[in-house]
Amino acid sequence: MGSESVKVSTTQSGGRLTFHIAGELDHHGAGALMGRIEERIEALTPRDCVLDMRELTFMDSSGIAVIMRAYRRMNALGGRLFVENVQSQPLRVLDASGIDRMVNISTST
């Protein structure tokens, strides 16, 4: 994904599409990441979509916009979105935003 400090790879198992997001997610890399997530969701129409944040070390509010966009796309498909393995700094941002009222969020195991 060019010079962005956020990296993403995908895996699919059954109806579950997982995006493994690593590095630092800010406005600089958010646009390309959103595009990649939307493109894969639309191409594969998964039942469940997972944003795996185990290797995401930093996130600002740009990450909230990414999650919201993925949530809307999955909602439109009648599917579900899960945000998993969230590390401590991204979790503080998610907690401050109140997004956990809409999206299933779990911390690192």
Instruction: Please identify which residue in 9, 11, 13, 31 interacts with another protein, judged by CB under 8 A.
Output: 31
- CA distance linking residue 101 with residue 38, whole number of Å: 22
Does position 27 interact with another protein (CB under 8 A)? The reply is yes
> Taking the complex as a whole, how short is the minimal distance between the CB of residue 15 and another protein, in angstroms?
26
- CA distance linking residue 19 with residue 50, whole number of Å: 6
User: How many alpha carbons lie under 13 Å from residue 8 in its C-beta half-sphere?
Assistant: 23
Question: What are the residues binding another protein (CB under 8 A)?
Answer: 3, 5, 24, 26-28, 30-31, 34, 58, 60-62, 64-65, 68-69, 88-89, 92-93, 96-97
